Amino acid sequence: MPIAPSRTALIDHLVRTRIAGDVATPRENNLAHYRSLAMGDRLYWLGLELGNRWTDEQDVLAVMADRCGVNDDPAHRAGQDTIDPELTVAGLERMAAFLRKAAEGRQRVLFATGHPGGLLDVHRATAAALRAAGCEIVSVPSGLRADEGSVYQVADVAVYERGATLWHTHSPAPMAAILDGLAHLGLPRPDLVVADHGWAGCAAQRGIDAVGYADCNDPALFLAEAEGTLQVAVPLDDHVADPRFYEPMTAYLLEAAGLPLH
């Protein structure tokens, strides 16, 4: 883990590596996802219950412009789209406050990712830092199944496996399996969930404090943050060319939370 960069240096790094700034996700993909969410496609709700509150695609776009930094012009239908790196860093700082609170209270924290190819090590390093600070990292019950695959942990991070491969998944079912499994065993649920995709959405919908990462084509978590269901949604491209590009960001997050780097 590198030494934590300054805020200015981190913003420069985020733009240079396309974690933020001019990101790889095209505008047409973003708008297609906003439209699908507004039309009620549960795949894009990420485990949240949005009711009929977000049936206008333009309302979704307005939130995404405000909280993620995509282009706010409805007439911009194709080509380049953006994530505001200032919003990324602000999200990291909000997340850091929850990590600091967890460390101070020695809370029970669950980590999970639907993007193991990009964010697994971000979550692993954060879990290691909280464990070193005295938190209990929630252990996932054995033998859990969801979506015709398995749910277990790699380096303290819950993941979804199918066919001997860790899968990219937006589904809330793996997180539901964990929470139901803990309840079945009579174990307390987490005090805090740090996750992404449907893992974060499911936990937040069940009333657990949840913070997470979200891409510009995953609007549900930003809507949930706007409504107060999800505590923090950090905007970023969640699968850039090299997962090591996230290391300075992780170092900044941990330093802001007052946690040791591992």
Q: Each residue of 11-31: pLDDT tens digit?
A: 999 999 999 999 999 999 999
Cβ(239)–Cβ(113) below 8 Å: no
Checking if the pLDDT of 56 tops 70, the result is yes
Question: Which structure tokens are listed for 168?
Answer: 């990219």
Q: Model confidence at 260, in pLDDT bands (50, 70, 90)?
A: confident
Question: Which structure tokens are listed for 74?
Answer: 């409805």
What is residue 170's DSSP assignment?
-
What pLDDT is stored for residue 2 in this prediction? 76
Cα–Cα dist 21/29, whole Å: 17
**Per-residue model confidence as pLDDT tens digits over 77-117:** 999 999 999 999 999 999 999 999 999 999 999 999 999 99
Cβ(221)–Cβ(139) below 8 Å: no
What pLDDT is stored for residue 261 in this prediction? 77
Q: What percent of the chain has pLDDT over 90?
A: 98
**Per-residue model confidence as pLDDT tens digits over 136-148:** 999 999 999 999 9
Burial of 126 (0-12, 13-18, 19+ CB in 10 A): buried
Over residues 234-254, mean pLDDT = 97
Cβ(221)–Cβ(198) below 8 Å: no
Cα–Cα dist 239/227, whole Å: 26
Cα–Cα dist 175/109, whole Å: 13
- C-alpha angle 105-106-107 in degrees, rounded to nearest 5: 90
Cα–Cα dist 35/80, whole Å: 18
Checking if the pLDDT of 262 tops 70, the result is no
Cβ(64)–Cβ(216) below 8 Å: yes
Checking if the pLDDT of 150 tops 70, the result is yes
Neighbours of 49 (CB within 10 A): 11
Cβ(218)–Cβ(33) below 8 Å: yes
Question: Which structure tokens are listed for 158?
Answer: 């819950």
Checking if the pLDDT of 40 tops 70, the result is yes
List Cα–Cα distances, 21 to 15, 44, 83, 84, 175, in angstroms.
Answer: 5, 23, 5, 6, 31
H helix runs in 71-218, sequence order: 85-105, 116-132, 173-184, 197-205
Cβ(232)–Cβ(98) below 8 Å: yes
Cβ(14)–Cβ(88) below 8 Å: yes
What pLDDT is stored for residue 151 in this prediction? 98
Is the pTM here over 0.85, yes or no?
yes
What pLDDT is stored for residue 107 in this prediction? 98
Cβ(191)–Cβ(108) below 8 Å: yes
Cα–Cα dist 115/239, whole Å: 7
**Per-residue model confidence as pLDDT tens digits over 170-215:** 999 999 999 999 999 999 999 999 999 999 999 999 999 999 999 9
